[in-house]
Amino acid sequence: MALLYKSTRGDSKYITASQAILKGIADDGGLYVPEAIPKIDFKLDEILNMDYKALAYRVLRLVLDDFTEDELKYCINGAYDEKFDTPLIAPLKETADCGVLELFHGKTIAFKDMALSILPYLLKTSARKNGEDRQIVILTATSGDTGKAALEGFADVEGTGIIVFFPQDGVSDVQKKQMVTQEGRNTCVVGIKGNFDDCQTAVKKAFTDKALKEELAAKGYVFSSANSINIGRLAPQIVYYFYAYAQMVKAGRVKLGEKINFVVPTGNFGNILAGYYAKNMGLPVDKLICASNENKVLYDFFKTGEYNARREFILTSSPSMDILISSNLERLLYHLSDAETVSEKMKLLSSEGDYGFTAMDSSFIGEYSTEAETFAIIKEVFEKEGYVLDTHTAVAYNSYKKYVSESGDNTPAVVVSTASPFKFAKDVLAAIDEKYKSIDPFEAVRTLSEVSGTPVPAPIKDIEKRPVLHDICIEKEAIEGFIKAKLI
Ligand SMILES: *Cc1c(COP(=O)(O)O)cnc(C)c1O
């Protein structure tokens, strides 16, 4: 029986996985969810012998079940190849406290590569399967990492174009430089005078604007999304939870079949939601610890049942988690209630800025780390273990230690590491030693290499010398007008 997708907000049309990937977001503004989360059809011990690609196939065929074996294998082989700097794709490091799943070995050295290296293949295949021959325009709002990973994924992919909006003053210097130096005929990068939520809201609005859609259709364009609102982003992220589990078993940190906890540095709630899917597909997972930085809306939500986005937006050293409206939470709410409830809550969120929801799954634990705690744990782990955490991973690592000391729960755990420390070298160095506080951000990359004894990752080597190819900056109110002017 086919697995179908529907909107979280009640639009009653059921569509296939490939159609959901093409559309990105439902017409009623909801996100696509599988009508039921499929169960794994393999034994857990089988995953111990699978490489990343084989495992990806076994997991993805269940979730994206209208793709043929050939189609899926083509997508997987195209994505998880030498673009990654290790054949393991997502290696597990160990510290005295826990496993650390490194998801930053792709082209842009952040975890977004795990999904965005396969999304262009999934999207092109979906277009072919559904007879879509219009030019696909990818609209993307980014808090820093999605933008670059999507640009790398879609650059010069025939039949597609990509426009990325990022908060001009809300990303790290390396992140910004990575984006504005992007090559590719079909790429466009735009700075916004506003924060990530402003970018995301404007992009979501463009997606659901009927008049705009019709105008574009007449010109031969169709929108899709590379944000984690697209199910084609989410599905590939389920794979590495299984992969992490297999490595924990092989490392002897857990016995096959026993449960583990995952700790996930969270922003838009896509990564941790993939963990929830993995758990519900049959992976032995106990707690999913949702780690926030000082923008701790989710922490408060899990503690109190009130989601309250009416608060000051704080710029932190973990900018990819500086988010007050976590889009994918909507999907979790749907799985725990129904479309009517979700629709009502999302209306409240946009009109009042808050809503209540108490039917929470007890697997979820909210934790958070302050800036001071984040810096302190980077120093501590470096001094004790010689291992350098990036700022986002540090938020999670510290949240994990807080959780253990509060709960006494010593279930084996994996901290999901979402970025290379080189991407946030300046803050990481300042955490290790105050004397680096005012270091130039690009000098910091070379210095971190010396201090940590690891080479600068190729994707950002000498990045400051590359020519700037995109230098547009616009007001947040001008986003829709910009899209029109660009395409029509
Ligand atoms: C995107 C990102 C996050 C947040 O992930 P979500 O899926 O949005 O919750 C955390 N860390 C880094 C480095 C990221 O790029």
Q: Rounded to the nearest 5°, which phi and psi values hold at 77?
A: -65, -35
Give yes or no for a contact between 301 and 307, defined as CB atoms under 8 angstroms apart.
yes
Q: Which atom of ligand 1 is nearest to the CA of 266?
A: 9
CB-CB neighbours of 384 under 10 Å: 11
Does the beta carbon of 321 sit less than 6 angstroms from any atom of ligand 1?
Answer: yes
Give residue 111's Cα distance to chain centre. 7
Catalytic: which of 112, 129, 148, 287?
112
Residue nearest to atom 8 of ligand 1 (CA): 268
DSSP secondary structure, 105-157, as one string? -STTSBTHHHHHTTHHHHHHHHHHHTT--SEEEEEEE-SSHHHHHHHHHHTT-
CA–centroid distance, residue 272 to ligand 1 (Å): 9
For the Cβ of 419 lying below 6 angstroms from any atom of ligand 1, the answer is yes
CA proximity to 171, closest of 272, 309, 321: 321
Q: 98 C-alpha to center of ligand 1: Å?
A: 20
pLDDT at 207: 82
Query: Exposure string (b/e) for 76-88, b if CB count within 10 Å is 16 or more?
Result: bebbbeebbbeee
CA distance 44 to 259: 12
If one residue of 102, 119, 145, 146 were mutated to test the ligand 1 pocket, choosing by the most ligand atoms within 8 A of its CB, it would be 145
CB neighbours of residue 461 within 10 Å: 13
Q: Which residue has the tokens 């979820």?
A: 364
Q: Within the chain, what is the greatest distance between any pair of CA atoms?
A: 61
What span, in angstroms and rounded, lies between the C-alpha atoms of 99 and 250? 12
CA distances from 148 to 155, 389, 453 (A): 10, 21, 26
Q: Is 268 in the pocket of ligand 1 (CB under 6 A)?
A: yes
Place of tokens 């879509």: 132
How does pLDDT run along the chain (488 residues), one tens digit per residue?
689 999 999 887 999 999 999 998 898 999 999 999 999 999 999 999 999 999 999 999 999 999 999 999 999 999 999 999 999 999 999 999 999 999 999 999 999 999 999 999 999 999 999 999 999 999 999 987 899 999 999 999 889 999 999 999 988 888 999 999 999 999 999 999 999 889 988 888 888 888 998 999 999 999 888 888 899 999 999 999 999 999 999 999 999 999 999 999 999 999 999 999 999 999 999 999 999 999 999 999 999 999 999 999 999 999 999 999 999 999 999 999 999 999 999 999 999 999 999 999 999 999 999 999 999 999 999 999 999 999 999 999 999 999 999 999 999 999 999 999 999 999 999 999 999 999 999 999 999 999 999 999 999 998 999 999 999 999 999 998 999 998 87
Atom of ligand 1 nearest to the CA of 423: 13
CA angle 412–418–420, rounded 5-degree value: 115
Which residues does residue 136 pair with via DSSP β-bridges, in sequence order?
A: 160, 222
Q: What confidence score (pLDDT) does residue 143 get? A: 82
Measured from the Cα of 392, ligand 1's closest atom is 11
Give the SS3 label for residue 24. coil
Q: Ligand 1 within 6 A of 228 CB?
A: yes
Which tens digits make up the pLDDT trace of 88-120?
999 999 999 999 999 999 999 999 999 999 999
Cβ contact 318:363 at 8 Å:
no
Cβ of 261 closer than 6 Å to ligand 1, yes or no, is: no
Point out which residues pair with 110 in neighbouring strands: 419
Nearest-atom number in ligand 1 for the CA of 265 is 10
- With a 6 Å cutoff on the Cβ, whether 246 touches ligand 1 is no
- pTM of the full structure: 0.94
**Any atom of ligand 1 within 6 Å of the Cβ of 320:** yes
Return the pLDDT at 448.
97
Query: How many angstroms separate the alpha carbon of residue 204 from the centre of ligand 1?
Result: 19
Report pLDDT for 200: 87
pLDDT score for 421:
97
Which of 49, 3, 469 shows the shortest CA–CA distance to 250?
A: 49
How many whole angstroms from its chain centre is CA 227?
8
pLDDT given for residue 1 in this prediction: 64
**Is residue 199 helix, strand or coil?**
helix
Active site residue 73: no
CA 109 to ligand 1 centroid distance, Å: 12
Euclidean distance between CA atoms 284 and 273, whole angstroms: 15
Dihedral over Cα of 259, 263, 269, 272: its sign? negative
> Inter-axis angle of helices 196-208 and 479-487, to 10 degrees?
50
Residue 392 CB less than 6 A away from ligand 1: yes
Contact 172, 146 (CB under 8 A): no
3-class secondary structure, 321: helix
From the CB of 265, is ligand 1 less than 6 Å away? yes
pLDDT of residue 11: 81
Closest ligand 1 atom, CA of 270?
7
Phi, psi (deg, nearest 5) at residue 309:
-90, 0
Burial class (CB in 10 A: 0-12, 13-18, 19+), 36: exposed
Helix (H) or strand (E) holding 93: strand 92-94
CB 288 within 8 A of CB 364: yes
Residue 343 is predicted with a pLDDT of 97
Q: What is the pLDDT of residue 197?
A: 87
